[in-house]
Structure formats: structure tokens, C-alpha cells
Amino acid sequence: MGGPRRGTGRLLTARSGAFAVSLVLSCALIASCGSAPRNGRVLLIGIDGATLRIAGPMLEQGSLPHLATLARAGVFGPLRSHFPLVSPRIWSSIATGKLPDKHGIMNFAREVAGGKRQLYESTDRKAHALWNIASDAGLTVGVVNWWTTYPPEKVNGVVVSDHLLAQELSGRRGLNRAEGGESGPIVYPPEWSERIAVLAKVEEPLTEVRDPFADPSVFPDWILPEKLSQRYRNDAAVVRIALEINRAVEPDLLMVFLPGIDRVSHRLWAGVDPPSSYPVDFGLDPEQRRAMAASLRQYYAYTDALIGRLTQHFGPNDFVMVVSDHGFEAGIKLMVLTGVHDSGKALDGMFVASGPDVTAPSEQRIVSVNDVTPTVLSWLGIPIGADMDGQPAPFLKTVAVPPIATHDTTPIEHVPHGRSGAEGAILDQLKSLGYFESGPTSEERIP
């Protein structure tokens, strides 16, 4: 591997609405090393539903210090998604570099016999994900809560599937048994199960940012602040688990997914867009709108603090990328959800990237969700697949390794599984977020 070299450049200018900011960067660059592995590691953080409409002004005001530190050392901007703006299909594109018709995850669930819904599972994915490719290259990986990772796949590292937190919410206590007594482990390898179970139940705060929903009296009843407080605790649990994996394994690739911003934005978005975006009889007074907007921004600050807990374990030789799958816009569903992501107004998420060989691009090309995996692979010195729909982002100055035809040549081995026991809780959560037409769950209180 070549020795370190230093260079300077300018931060990619990100524009979203009225927001525009340009910062000067100074970052250490490491010489391209062909296909040789790097000494540095990769941290990829997914923050569901984060948008520059909120984050942009907050970055400018210094309200997101950890993301701002990454931005000053690297680049940031909008991340272009694709329709429909449905999380599992987009996060699977982020993880594979491929469009849904190639990776096979089309939605949250599909209808099966009897009109029932069955969640898409990792066994439905037709393409290798970033963690499979890295494992095949001999790297260690840690994957925490990424969409559509149940059942967990056998990798060179640790996978905590996206059924973990829903299983905890449903009141289940074991991580290795499913309903009916069938085996349904949600963690790989199995020796991590009890350690993860303990961490998932810890409720001590991870940051100094208080729960924005601790005082329910400032919200309308239908906001369900107690449910939003659970999102606050869930995101902390995800980071706590990721920190333990990082401590014990120090994986070459750590992928962490935080869903909270999306979940609270669905409820609180009416505080962001003007009252004229909603029916005149919607019934929110100015004080309630201000409380909703303030709480949403506080949740962004909380997410930034959680990101800080993760990034403090990564140094100047490491590549850190934070990505979001879409934005938000005004809309009403189920009479209680005031934020949606249905049209072009919500098409762009956001990204922040920092590390060696990250610099302001000469090519002002929009970065796509399909570009994330090719970018990470190129930084690691692993060839991308010619069958991928993305390409390395223009801010990455690493000389790309020649591509190969495909990475989808080795078998993906899954743990033996049945039902995880979390399926019902996940489907109820999706109904409460307006993703299915069957209406709100029994827990929903409609004004």
C-alpha cells in the first residue's frame, strides 16, 4: 500500500431548497493501491427519511456538530432515490448497488394465499449485498438492523437482523426461538444472541440529548408521544449493539441502520410545512405546530449525537458515509400521519462522506442510492460488478479496480429459520405508518 499523502480541496456544495453552503476541507488522502486491501475501515450509517430540508439549515447553524465535522472533512449533498419511495426496496438498492428488479426486494410485504401479507425476507434477495461481498473478500463485517436482513446470513462477522427491535416490542424475550417452537434466530453467530438480548433491554441514555417526547402534554393526543419515545429508545439500542460489535470485533465494515427520523417525521411533519399545505379544518394551533417542529429538529440533533458515538471509534484512515433513502413532504394518511414520501418533493435523501480519497468532485453529478455500494467497494479496493446499476461517487478519487462481471457467483448461506416471532409486530407498525390500506391498528387513536 502506498504511503500517505496530503491534499486540500473544497467541499461539495449541497443545495436543497433555499439552503446552500460551501465549506473548505482539508483531508488526508491515501494513494491508490490497486486491489490491495486498505488499512482503514468503513462505517456506513443509514438514517431513514433524513432530508436536507431539515438537516441543511441545522448544519449551517451548527446544530448537528458530528455531521458537520464529517462534512468539513469531506463532502455532503442530496442522495437521489427512485420510485416508489418504499424503504426495503431502496435500502436493498443501497446495499447491493442494484435496482429492485435485480435484487428482488420490491416492497415491505407481498400478498399470499388467503389475502394475508408476508414480509419480504433476506432469502428473497437475488443479489449479493455489501456484507456478502466484503465477507467473500476476506473482510470482517458487522451489520445491525439493516432492512430485510431476517433471517440473518452467515458472514465473516456479526449480523443482527431487522427483526430484533420488533421482537422486543412484541414482548418476546428469547432471540433463538420463534412462535410454534420453530427455530428463528435473529442474530448470527448464535453465541452473540444473549449478549445482544441484554443490550437491547438497556434503557440508560447514550447521549445528552433528551427525549423530545418526554412531555406529552405539548402534543395533540393523536401524536402518540409514548410511541415516539419508543423510537428514541430503539435507536439507542441499535447504536449500543453496534458499539459492542465494534468493540469486540472491530469489523472492516460496520453497517448500522437508524429508523427513528422516518418514524417521527410521519407524525410531526405538519410542524415543518406551512398550514396552507393541510386542510383548513385539520385542527392544529400554532403552538402545537411549533412543538412538532421543535421536537423533530431535536430528534435530528439526537440522531447526530448517536452518530457521534459511532464515529468516535473511527479515525482519519477510515471511510465514513452517512446516507438517507428519501425525504419528506406534506400529506395526510390515516388522519394522524402528517408527513409522507410519495412524490418528487421527497425524492432526495442526503449523504455525508469523509475519509481518505474523498474530495470535492470536478464532475457535478448527482449521487444515487445505487452508487453507495460501488463507492464503498472502490474505497476498499474491491472491484464492483458490471451488473450493478450504480458507479463510484464522483467525490471518490481512488483509482477504481477493474470491474468483474458479477459478485453473484457464490452461495449465500442463511441460518436455519422459521418465523422470528416479530412478524405481527412489524406488520402492525407498517399499518400504523400508512403503508397498507387496511387502516390503523388497534393502538392508533384517531381524533
The CA radius of gyration of the chain, in Å to the nearest whole number, is 21
What 3 state SS string does 21-90 have? ECCEEEEEEECCCCCCCCCCCEEEEEECCCCHHHHHHHHHHCCCHHHHHHHHHCEEEEEECCCCCCHHHH
∠ CA 327-321-152, nearest 5°, is 85
In this structure, are residues 264 and 155 in contact, taking their beta carbons and an 8 Å threshold?
A: no
Quickly count: other Cβ atoms within 10 Å of residue 204's Cβ: 6
Give me 89's grid cell.
Answer: 426496496
Q: Is residue 423 part of a domain?
A: yes
Nearest CA-CA partner of 88 in 429, 441, 405, 443:
429
Does residue 333 lie within any of the structural domains? yes
Burial of 174 by CB count in 10 Å (0-12 exposed, 13-18 middle, 19+ buried)? Answer: middle
344 exposure class (CB count in 10 Å sphere: 0-12, 13-18, 19+): exposed
Q: What is the distance between the alpha carbons of residues 288 and 204, in angstroms, rounded to a whole number?
A: 29
Please tell me the total count of domains within the chain: 1
Cα 186 to Cα 265: distance, rounded to the nearest angstrom: 28
CA distance between the termini of the chain: 63
Separation between Cα atoms, residue 287 and residue 165, nearest integer Å: 33
**CB distance 345 to 327 below 8 Å:** yes
Task: Answer whether residue 447 is part of any domain.
Answer: no
pLDDT at position 262 is 98
In a domain, 445, yes or no: no
| Residue-level pLDDT, tens digit, the chain, 447 residues | 332 222 222 223 332 332 222 222 222 222 233 344 567 999 999 999 999 999 999 999 999 999 999 999 999 999 999 999 999 999 999 999 999 999 999 999 988 888 888 999 999 999 999 999 999 999 999 999 999 999 999 999 999 999 987 755 443 334 444 333 343 689 999 999 999 999 998 989 999 999 999 998 889 888 999 999 999 999 999 999 999 999 999 999 999 999 999 999 999 999 999 999 999 888 789 999 999 999 999 999 999 999 999 999 999 999 999 999 999 999 999 888 999 999 999 999 999 999 999 998 877 899 999 999 999 999 999 999 999 999 999 999 988 789 999 999 999 999 987 777 788 888 888 888 888 754 433 333 222
- The confidence score (pLDDT) of residue 419 equals 73
Structural domain harbouring 152 = 4-432
**413, part of any domain:** yes
Q: pTM of the entire structure?
A: 0.88
Supply φ then ψ for residue 345, to 5 degrees: -65, -25
Q: Would 307 be classed as within a structural domain?
A: yes
Interior/surface letters 141-170, b for 16+ CB within 10 angstroms, e for the rest: bbbbbbbbbbbbbebbbbbbbbbbbbbbbb
**Does residue 332 lie within any of the structural domains?**
yes
Tell whether 441 is covered by a domain: no
Contacts 24+ apart (CB under 8 A), 273-278: 273/329, 273/330, 277/330, 278/330, 278/332, 278/338
Q: What is the DSSP letter of 370?
A: G
- The reported pLDDT for the residue numbered 4 is 24
Distances 140 to 43, 162, 172, 254, 384 between C-alpha atoms, Å: 12, 20, 30, 9, 18
CATH number at residue 359: 3.40.720.10
